[in-house]
Every structure is written in C-alpha cells, then in structure tokens.
Structure 1
Amino acid sequence: MHKKLVTNTSYPRCGERSETMEHVFRECLVTIEVWSELSFHHISISQNMDFVQWLTWVFEQFNQSKCSIFCCAIWAISGARNKRIHENKVSTGKEIANFVIKYIDEITGCIDKYSVKPIRSIRWRYPPEAFVKINFDGANNERQKLLLSCSKIHHEIHSAFATESVACLEAIQVGVEKEWRHIIIEGDSLTNSKDRSLVGALIHDIKQNTVGSNTFRFEHTRRTANGLAHLLATETLRRREEIYLKMAVPEYAEEQRRKD
C-alpha cells in the first residue's frame, strides 16, 4: 500500500479488516476458532497489547508443551493464509487446529523414537573358564586382579595415554611373572595420542611381551565394569602408597570388590 502496488489492504481470508498482525493471529473469526479448538480460550481477545506484548504474555501463561502447540498454531495460521492467497485454498479453523494436533503428535513420536536411550550399566564379568583376567587402570600406574591387587607409583608421566600404557605393561608383566596360561588384559581407556612416539618404548615392550603368544587377550570395557582397578589407581595416587597383596585388596577397596 505504501509503495502504491495495492489499494486494498483487507485480509484476504475474511475481507473485513486490514491485514495486520493483530487481526491475522488474534481477531479474525477463523483464527479465534483455531484457538478455541486448541483450548486456548480467550487468548485471542486480550487487553490493549501489541503483537509482541501478546506473544510475551502467552509464553508467561503456559507451560512448555502448551507453548509448543501455540507456536505451531501461529505457523499453521500463517501457512493457511498463504495458501488462501497463492493456491486459493480455504481452510476452516477446525481444519487448521486438526493439522496442528496431528503435526505435534508426529513431532512427539519422532522424538520418542529417536531419543537417546540411557546406557545400561555394565558390571565386571568373570572371564571364561581357564582364563585369568587382569584389570588395569591408570591414575599414575595401577593394575589389579582377582588373585592379587597391586599398584605402583611412577613419576614424570605427563599424559593420560602414557599412564594407561604403563599400567597395561605392568599388567602384562604380572601375567608373565605368574605364568598364567590364559590371560585377559582388560582396561577402560580409549585414550589416543597424536604422537605415539612419546610412548614408543612402552608400546614396543608390550608387543615384545605378547608377540606370538596365545596367552594374552586384550579387551576394552566401560568404567562401570572396571571400578576396582580405577579405585586402586586413584587411591594409590592420592595416598602415595604402593600395594602388593595376594588374594586380597586394601581395606578401602573391600566394598568396591564386593560390589564388583
């Protein structure tokens, strides 16, 4: 109208009043029917509020679920207005409201279907028959097993990757010293290093201890299934006390041992 391109400013749906934001979303009889069908009674006829004030007021009145329906309805009313102009398709207030309800149901269904399910808690498992499992973890250096618990303190290890590598090597060496025939080396670390040369010697020693051997099998587990080894590692670091116990764990780890 300001650019003299049109002379008629009435709302195409009803032709009664000028097409303002207030009329489209609050005053038109079809819009009022939409709000009524969606159980938003009386929100279209509000006291002396401009459009932005009205939106703010609505969001303050209702919970998140109701506000989602409201926003979808605003979008649907606008879409119905465009279809009336460009496609000459006329929708009733009830039809628009039904579209909103169906659309919200579809959205909710998709959220339920693809929402991330909580990860089931994984606990420590006994190894297969004839196997001995050695669990290791690093807070500085540590590994623990069912037949003995042991931890050592190493100095000047500056990366998590190196710490876990030292712990793994120590676990392997325990298995070699005890001459167990079938051993599972199990830890919870997925730590990676951009420069593996930093721990190249450790990796070389690990390979040398296990190359060509059918004794060792390496497995990864979650932290929830490696609780005892993790506790021994962190407590050794905190207490500054090394341990080596046969058929036992330190007193502070007894509860975790029973839990595992």
Structure 2
Amino acid sequence: MLHDYRDAQSHLSVPLPSSSVQQLERWKPPTGLNYKVNIDATIFPRQKASGFGVVIRNERGETMAAVSARGPLVQNSKEAEALACRKAVEVAMDLGFRDVTLEGDNISVMSSISSTSINRARLGFVYDDIRCMGRGFRTFHVNHVRRTANTVAHSLADAGLIEGEMVWLEQDPPPARDALYSDSCHISL
C-alpha cells in the first residue's frame, strides 16, 4: 500500500515551470542604516472590518517593531492598503526611525504614493498625507514587492481581527513567527 501511495503522489505532483521558480521573490534586508517597513492589509467582510500589518526590520532581518491592528470597514483592498501604508509611516515616525523604505504588495497603491503628480482620486488625500509625512524622514523610499516578499506583514494583517492594536518592540510577533523564520532562512549576511 505504501508503494501505491508513493506512486499516486508522484503522478499527482505538478512540476513548476522554471520561469515560475524564478519569479518567486523573497524579502531582502535593507542596506546600511536603512530600515524596511513592510505593510499589508486584509478585509474581513463578515466582521465589517479590515486588518493592518506592519513590520519594521533592520539590515540583519531583526524585528525592530511590528503592529497588528484592526481597521475600519473599507470599500476595497486598495483603500485598505492605503490606510495600512499611512499607519506604517505614522508608526515608523513615532518610533523615531529616520531612514525608511516602505514596501507593499499592491502595485497601484505603491505607485500612487511614489508619484509626484496630484492625485484627485478618492484616496488622493491619503496618498498626499503619506508623502507629506514621508518628508519628515531623512530618507524615504517606496517599493512595490511581490506577495512572497511580504509574508510577515501579511501574517500580521490576518491577525488584525483582534480588538484594538497589538505592538511588539524588538521582539518577533507570535502571529508572524513562521513567516519571519522563512525569511531568515533566505538572508545571507
């Protein structure tokens, strides 16, 4: 029976094309004295809420700060991500970080924050607020990353269904320990 099971498993496995393997992006630590601020958001329609996840890490991949928070009901993922970005910038600023790179996996939101043109869309004031707060840092960069490079923030956003807000300073947040471990396995120092 074991032989039949293994034989069946080999027939069920689907090989990944080499191009898919190459597209797998992992989290990369920042360089120098910069800090990476990864964000993600999720929507909980049944609970009429959203969840935000923020993690700030240094060049060794160590968690400097992390936040898992419940947010308001939003219309779509774009709105949730924009509000999560604003929350992340506010947290980084309040904690005194001076050189940050904001990373998220929603290309539309990250592009809107990076843009220097006036955004008259419904969320334009949120993007303007983030850019204005970003000027308070010594260096402020915005990057889009794939979901596979944003798993820690995603884990924290999923845990955001809790009431209020959970903050961890210089310790790994329990909801994201597996994702942090996975990231650390791919960091070459």
Normalising by structure 1, we get a TM-score of: 0.50
Q: Which residue of 2 aligns with 1:132?
A: 35
Q: Which residue of 2 aligns with 1:57?
A: none
- Following superposition of structure 1 onto structure 2, how do residues 1-260 of structure 1 map, counting pairs within 5 Å? 117-120=19-22, 121-139=24-42, 140=50, 141-145=52-56, 146-191=63-108, 197-211=121-135, 214-237=138-161, 239-240=162-163, 242-260=165-183
User: 1:119: how far off?
Assistant: 4.1
Match of 1:170, SS state, is helix
Q: Deviation digits for residues 123-145 of structure 1, max 9, x if unmatched? A: 11110011011111111222122
Structure 2 residue runs without a partner (length 5+): 1-16, 43-49, 57-62, 113-118, 184-189
Which structure has more RCO (C-alpha within 8 Å, separation ≥ 6)? 2
User: 1:151: how far off?
Assistant: 2.0
Contact 1:185 1:216 (C-alpha < 8 Å) held by counterparts: yes
CA RMSD, Structure 1 to Structure 2 (Å): 2.4
Count of residues in correspondence between the two structures = 144
Indicate the structure with greater helix content: 1
Match of 2:129, SS state, is helix
In 2, Cα distance between the equivalents of 1:184 and 1:190? 15
- The higher radius of gyration belongs to 1
Change (3 A) 1:147 1:118: same
Contact 1:160 1:191 (C-alpha < 8 Å) held by counterparts: no
In 1, Cα distance between the equivalents of 2:21 and 2:77? 25
Indicate the structure with greater strand content: 2
Q: Which residue of 2 aligns with 1:80?
A: none
User: 1:163: how far off?
Assistant: 0.6
Structure 1 residue runs without a partner (length 5+): 1-114
Contact 1:151 1:236 (C-alpha < 8 Å) held by counterparts: yes
User: 1:201: how far off?
Assistant: 2.3
In 2, Cα distance between the equivalents of 1:154 and 1:255? 24
Normalising by structure 2, we get a TM-score of: 0.67
Seq. identity, %:
27
Change (3 A) 1:164 1:196: farther
Q: Deviation digits for residues 19-72 of structure 1, max 9, x if unmatched? A: xxxxxxxxxxxxxxxxxxxxxxxxxxxxxxxxxxxxxxxxxxxxxxxxxxxxxx
In 1, Cα distance between the equivalents of 2:158 and 2:101? 22
Change (3 A) 1:241 1:175: closer
- 1:226 maps to a residue whose letter is N
